[in-house]
Amino acid sequence: MSTRRRISIATIAILCNLTAYTLYADDGRGEAKAAEPPQSVHGLPLVYQTDFSDNADDWKPTDAKAWKLEKNDNRSVFALTKKRSDYNPKVRSPFNQAILQSPTVTDFILDVQLKSTEPDYNHRSLCLFFGHQDASHFYYVHFGKKTDDHANQIFIVNDAPRTKISTKTTPGTNWDDEWHHARIVRDVESGSIKVYFDDMDEPVMTATDKTFKHGKVGIGSFDDRGVFSRVLLYGTKK
């Protein structure tokens, strides 16, 4: 990868604001309609998109009975409806996962519209997954209401209980009952992981890790409920 390419990936979250493309507008019939996104961003092509208006066939849940397609605020959503799903991972890691089965990516930008539907408490949370190899090898971002060593951090699961790898985080993710915008920017050569929440100019979490240089992405939570609508994935396919 050239120096120019590395700089482009490292600064992509500042140079390109995708916010307008992930928001919804009324289509005139009371339905929320997602705007058409750009087909590439700084050399990374759009490799997957969904608003869950048709199906969720591309996603594999750890517990299919915990997920269903429904409407929320006039949007089509993939809803996580069980606080604790019927899934027991081999090592300590999130119970509620829905993993996108294709494509597998190296460098990527993952943009997701998400909303917590869990009553408020200190560990109210949702998660995004990436670098997913299998059930015991992946990264995930935990957006937790109150930060501690097991909440509101970036984690690695590497055939052992989840381990915090964040080098920066915040006091917590200010969950309410509204929609929010989350983004992960990954550069595998440098190992950079940058996570954004609503403010797309300044990352709320950062980490550097080169363990998994490719993998699948996913949505879910550790053990809370929530809904997911617009998903955009820009990246380099493996």
**Kind plus residue range of the DSSP H or E element containing 83:** none
Decide the pairing of beta strands 32-34 and 180-187: unpaired
**Which tokens go with 36?**
């058409």
Say which amino acid occupies 48.
Y
**Looking at residue 14, what is its pLDDT?**
36
Residue 6: predicted pLDDT? 43
* Tens-level pLDDT at each residue, the chain (238 residues): 444 344 344 434 333 456 655 555 545 555 566 678 888 877 899 999 999 999 999 999 999 999 999 999 999 999 999 998 899 999 999 999 999 999 999 999 999 999 999 999 999 999 999 999 999 999 999 999 999 999 999 999 999 999 999 999 999 999 999 999 999 999 999 999 999 999 999 999 999 999 999 999 999 999 999 999 999 999 999 9
Cβ contacts of residue 224 below 8 Å, gap of 6+?
A: 80, 83, 96, 116, 118, 123, 124, 125, 126
Of the candidates 65, 85, 70, 75, which has an alpha carbon nearest to the alpha carbon of residue 127?
85
Give residue 40's pLDDT. Answer: 87
* CATH class in words for 3-237: mainly beta
Give the containing element (helix H, strand E) for 210: none
Task: State whether the Cα torsion 171-209-110-119 is positive or negative.
Answer: negative
| Residue 157, both tokens | 């699961």
Given a contact cutoff of 8 angstroms between Cβ atoms, the answer to whether 192 and 10 are in contact is yes
Which helix (H) or strand (E) is 89 found in, with range?
none
Query: Which residues lie closer than 8 Å to 77 by C-beta, 6 or more apart?
Result: 52, 69, 70, 71, 227, 228, 229
Whole-number Cα distances in Å, 33 to 55, 167, 198, 201:
16, 37, 20, 25
At 30, list the tokens: 């009371």
Residue identified by tokens 């990527």 is: 108
> Can you give the pTM of this predicted structure?
0.89
Query: In the chain, what are the helix, strand and coil shares in percent, each to the nearest 5?
Result: 10, 50, 45
Residues sharing a CB contact under 8 Å with residue 13, sequence separation 6 or more, in sequence order: 109, 183, 185, 194, 196, 200, 201, 203
Which pLDDT value is given to residue 157?
A: 98
* Three-state DSSP class for residue 39: coil
Q: Is 170 helix (H, G, I), strand (E, B) or coil?
A: coil
So what's the pLDDT on residue 31?
58
Tokens of 66: 């915990």
Query: What are the start-end ranges of the H helices in the chain?
Result: 3-10, 12-15, 19-22
- H/E element, 188: none
Spans of all domains in the chain: 3-237
DSSP class of residue 120? P
- Which pLDDT score, from 0 to 100, does residue 43 have? 83
Residue 151's identity, in one-letter code, is A
